[in-house]
Chains A and B, each alone.
Chain A
């Protein structure tokens, strides 16, 4: 029989098998290598290769070093700046719509609207649809001639407001933002609903005892207590929208007149629709945008998370 009490001279150096939090190098390697290999092969290498390629002009199979030329050209590329503006509008404004819609739906369910079980499923369903399906569905809804939106407007005597929602540069970006919010509202609703249900019951009951109405309870109790959740959702939505591509590509292709061009659609156009095989310039756009997204997340983290620790 051996004693389980460790004597001082039995204490092993870090990394030895005696430390329950440590294991031997071979075991560490076995567990780490697959994950590291996937990370290096599918994330780190493509990212570094993109940055590397951005210093070259690549024609066919030949690469010519051009230093910072691609970055200089980018600074004077009007379309790039339009795409940046559109992406920022989408990324900063649309998450407010997404999160507030999700919160409202969650509150409706929490308040016990009729058919709550059905509505919960119905509102969440768009999250399960692919962007392709969502895009086609909303292209039908927005169709000028027979789309349901214009048909409803005409039916209620507001035919003058019927518009080419995706064909008018002043409306197209907004139309896409609404579509995107519709798709993700259910996700935000589920997260908000879970957060509402986890709020301390005694606080809500105390508010009730103080004759606090629904509006006041929402404003002074529920929303402040949900703040960390709402901020997390905002930042998640923000990151997703900085990379938005599929919905735009299917519904408008970045048009009309670049009104819905985003950085991602522009990178794709430069890489695949530009009568060239050059990946240098699109790599420069991607590299710049990678930096912008990282910087924006860090800034948002600092600004919004001064009191609440964010997790995403």
Chain B
């Protein structure tokens, strides 16, 4: 009898909950992992897009986490295999294994592809489908301190591009004046040490042969490649890089350039702004810093002095086994708009693979933008940095040799070319 009453009570409770179902329905929660925990402008842009989406879509809730890139990759690699990956996560096109492994959902049916720039789509296109939302794009730039460059007695020409000899002269004058010519460190990144060398190689070889070098069909023993490596080796031996090059971290190399001790130049992708435009008390660039942007030097007999590297970096992808693809797709769709692209450029002061309307940009860094646009006028873009093209052992050899040992002066030109050929050359 007692059990009978208890059963009735349970049934009544279940019925009443069932009737109240729609009123108590919880929004479907999706998980999203974003990079940029230490870059306020980008973090704010992502947070704002998520908040807007939640306000417009009460049936979806987003659990947004900001995690350093390396940790996202490590965790995602384990999580995708076990079905535990977040519905949306940060990825860059240099991690193709996620796509090859079938862990990414094509976005064509979720987002309006007109919201993406045409030049950015190929970075995430495979077999005719688009798999990533290319939020962050960049060009490789050579920033410089106008005052210090002038102080050592070098005039930047009207086209903002030094010749090979003039750049060598700049380095030597910097060293003589006790000013580090190039702020660069590879303590926590696999790519910065190769920026000067590979931008020089692009300008010397032109996009076609440079592409061959990066896809392993042109040898590092090619005389033009050796000539450029010899030139860079000369800069290294002259003292172009900081003594702490091997252990200097990316954030520290920013500080080194625009704060203490200061350097003449700072080669960096144009995402430079993410750190530089943070408040000075958070390690950003001082307000009155005399920042300039020059082109990387033109190589003697170079095939393409007007060439420059363009790439897609921070992007968002959808996990193919997401249990809430509708909400995840709707969130990505809401992000992929021209308005949001414009806001990104306005807030972050960095290019984007989302469609945008530069005429509407109202930024406190308008002067910077004007200079960046001027340095990118009439340039011929080559798509992708070396690590975008290199894979596995070749990428690891690039990291150890071209990113670290060669610019640190630890290895000769011949040895570096031999090691790169052994790992990358398919000829």
Q: Is A272 an interface residue (CB 8 A)?
A: yes
A60 adjacent to B410 (CB under 8 Å)? no
Q: How far is the CA of A164 from the CA of B392 in the complex (A)?
A: 28
A61 adjacent to B405 (CB under 8 Å)? no
B77 adjacent to A277 (CB under 8 Å)? yes
B101 adjacent to A60 (CB under 8 Å)? yes
Chain B contacts for A139, CB-based, 8 A: 247
B74 adjacent to A143 (CB under 8 Å)? no
Q: From DSSP, what is the main secondary structure of chain A's interface residues?
A: loop
A275 adjacent to B81 (CB under 8 Å)? no
In the complex, what's the smallest C-beta–C-beta distance from B51 to chain A, in angstroms? 33
Chain B contacts for A255, CB-based, 8 A: 246, 399-400, 404-405
Q: How far is the CA of A274 from the CA of B77 in the complex (A)?
A: 11
In the complex, what's the smallest C-beta–C-beta distance from A124 to chain B, in angstroms? 29
Stretch at the interface among B9-17, B92-100, B112-120: B92-100
Chain A contacts for B77, CB-based, 8 A: 272, 277
Contact count A vs B, C-beta below 8 Å: 79
B74 adjacent to A272 (CB under 8 Å)? yes
Interface string of A40-78 (1 = CB under 8 A from B): 000000000000000000011100000000000000000
Q: Is A169 an interface residue (CB 8 A)?
A: yes
Q: Is B401 an interface residue (CB 8 A)?
A: yes
A164 adjacent to B244 (CB under 8 Å)? yes
Q: Is A144 an interface residue (CB 8 A)?
A: yes
Q: How far is the CA of A277 from the CA of B401 in the complex (A)?
A: 24
In the complex, what's the smallest C-beta–C-beta distance from A7 to chain B, in angstroms? 54
Tell whether A276 pairs with B247 under 8 Å between CB atoms, given A61-B102, A255-B404, A269-B396.
no
From residue 241 to 284 of chain A, which have CB atoms closer than 8 A to chain B? 255-258, 269, 272-277
B242 adjacent to A257 (CB under 8 Å)? no
Tell whether A275 pairs with B73 under 8 Å between CB atoms, given A59-B100, A167-B244.
no
Residue of B nearest to A268 (CB): B74
Q: How far is the CA of A160 from the CA of B207 in the complex (A)?
A: 44
**Taking each of B101, B246, B247, B410, which has the highest tally of chain A beta carbons within 10 Å of its own beta carbon?**
B247
Q: Is B151 an interface residue (CB 8 A)?
A: no
In the complex, what's the smallest C-beta–C-beta distance from A242 to chain B, in angstroms? 23
B243 adjacent to A144 (CB under 8 Å)? yes
In the complex, what's the smallest C-beta–C-beta distance from A119 to chain B, in angstroms? 31
Q: Is B214 an interface residue (CB 8 A)?
A: no
Q: Is A166 an interface residue (CB 8 A)?
A: yes
Tell whether A61 pairs with B81 under 8 Å between CB atoms, given A255-B246, A272-B73, A273-B396.
yes
B404 adjacent to A256 (CB under 8 Å)? yes
Chain A contacts for B154, CB-based, 8 A: none
Tell whether A256 pairs with B392 under 8 Å between CB atoms, given A59-B101, A61-B101.
no
**Taking each of A139, A168, A257, which has the highest tally of chain B beta carbons within 10 Å of its own beta carbon?**
A257
B395 adjacent to A169 (CB under 8 Å)? no
Residue of B nearest to A165 (CB): B247
Tell whether A256 pairs with B102 under 8 Å between CB atoms, given A139-B247, A273-B396.
no
Chain B contacts for A145, CB-based, 8 A: 242-244, 261
A256 adjacent to B244 (CB under 8 Å)? no
The listed residue (A60, A256, A257, A269) touching B103 by CB distance below 8 A is A60
Chain B contacts for A164, CB-based, 8 A: 243-247, 408
Chain A contacts for B246, CB-based, 8 A: 164, 166-168, 255-256
Q: Is A123 an interface residue (CB 8 A)?
A: no
In the complex, what's the smallest C-beta–C-beta distance from B96 to chain A, in angstroms? 6
Q: How far is the CA of A142 from the CA of B247 in the complex (A)?
A: 9
In the complex, what's the smallest C-beta–C-beta distance from B161 to chain A, in angstroms? 31
In the complex, what's the smallest C-beta–C-beta distance from A153 to chain B, in angstroms? 13
A60 adjacent to B245 (CB under 8 Å)? no
Q: How far is the CA of A61 from the CA of B396 in the complex (A)?
A: 25
Chain B contacts for A60, CB-based, 8 A: 100-103
A144 adjacent to B244 (CB under 8 Å)? yes
From residue 151 to 175 of chain B, which have CB atoms closer than 8 A to chain A? none
From residue 121 to 145 of chain A, which have CB atoms closer than 8 A to chain B? 139, 142-145
Q: Is B411 an interface residue (CB 8 A)?
A: yes
Q: Is B391 an interface residue (CB 8 A)?
A: yes
B395 adjacent to A166 (CB under 8 Å)? no
A274 adjacent to B392 (CB under 8 Å)? yes
Chain A contacts for B243, CB-based, 8 A: 144-145, 164
In the complex, what's the smallest C-beta–C-beta distance from A158 to chain B, in angstroms? 16
Q: How far is the CA of A143 from the CA of B242 in the complex (A)?
A: 12
In the complex, what's the smallest C-beta–C-beta distance from B111 to chain A, in angstroms? 24
Q: How far is the CA of A1 from the CA of B148 in the complex (A)?
A: 105
From residue 239 to 269 of chain B, which have CB atoms closer than 8 A to chain A? 242-247, 261
B410 adjacent to A168 (CB under 8 Å)? yes
B411 adjacent to A257 (CB under 8 Å)? yes
Q: How far is the CA of A274 from the CA of B73 in the complex (A)?
A: 11
Residue of B nearest to A266 (CB): B396
Q: How far is the CA of A167 from the CA of B242 in the complex (A)?
A: 12
B404 adjacent to A257 (CB under 8 Å)? yes
**Taking each of A79, A255, A257, A272, which has the highest tally of chain B beta carbons within 10 Å of its own beta carbon?**
A255
The listed residue (B97, B100, B391, B410) touching A256 by CB distance below 8 A is B410
B400 adjacent to A257 (CB under 8 Å)? yes
**What would be 30 A-B contacts, judged by CB atoms less than 8 Å apart?**
A59-B101, A60-B103, A61-B101, A144-B243, A144-B244, A145-B244, A164-B244, A164-B246, A166-B247, A168-B410, A255-B246, A255-B400, A255-B404, A255-B405, A256-B400, A256-B405, A256-B410, A257-B401, A257-B405, A258-B400, A269-B396, A272-B73, A272-B74, A274-B392, A274-B393, A274-B396, A275-B97, A275-B391, A276-B97, A276-B392
B binding-site residues for A, Cβ under 8 Å: 73-74, 77, 81, 94-97, 100-103, 242-247, 261, 391-393, 395-396, 399-401, 404-405, 408, 410-411
The 3 closest A-B CB pairs, nearest first, are A167-B246, A60-B101, A144-B244
A binding-site residues for B, Cβ under 8 Å: 59-61, 79, 139, 142-145, 164, 166-169, 255-258, 269, 272-277
**A59-B100, A255-B405 given. 15 additional CB < 8 A pairs?**
A60-B100, A61-B102, A144-B244, A164-B246, A164-B247, A164-B408, A168-B246, A169-B405, A169-B410, A255-B246, A255-B399, A255-B404, A256-B400, A256-B405, A276-B392
